[in-house]
Chains A and B, each alone.
Chain A
């Protein structure tokens, strides 16, 4: 692997690890993805609208 590729790889790895740490440390970030962990809950059914647009009666 060339020196340039190594530098790019190390740069990407550092960015990835830093962002991952931020995502784990900041509660707002983790809450974002845990928010809709249960799709049976009525409050998250709205999320499914992206897949169901144009459906006749999705909730009936």
Chain B
């Protein structure tokens, strides 16, 4: 599904990623861990095509396509979705209009007619159930006046509507209480299929408990320095990152 090779990327002239290699196959959930500033968010921003981030070397192939040549909107149509770390408020653009624009843009990309009003509302109603988002949120501005937990649920709701094949969860768990985390993680799990994959950035063991990832990667200083299965995640939760840094320094 996704093949990242020797990826180097800069933001504001500073090199953050220094040769990332990562392959994610269909149906796999990969967790990305690492100390603050190690490049986790940079990697997710590069994957969605944030224009602030510049790729200076390397390649990303997504389902056979050169991802770096695609606009952010086309990456979305191709099946990439990012649950943002801090989902932004867009006052004046209602959730309904926002989702309609997103759904119909994707349909247009695949040569399909826009969804009729009844079908569209039915789709929203169905998908809201995944994370238990009330109907009244749909007439509000995007994330306008949403609490932290509601914003994250809204991200998973949008994911449910857009049905991506590859999802990035960028610290979707941060700032959530136990119940909200469960709703978000269970919502995400409900959307998993043998054809969908995910890259999850997290600091928390609870998220590992829910997601049962296939692989854990540790990013330090813009490179993946250690890889393992879920048990590596639990080890980091217990011991922190310093022992890994020491391992790296000692070669």
> Are A and B interaction partners?
no
Q: Residues on A close to B: CB < 8 A?
A: none
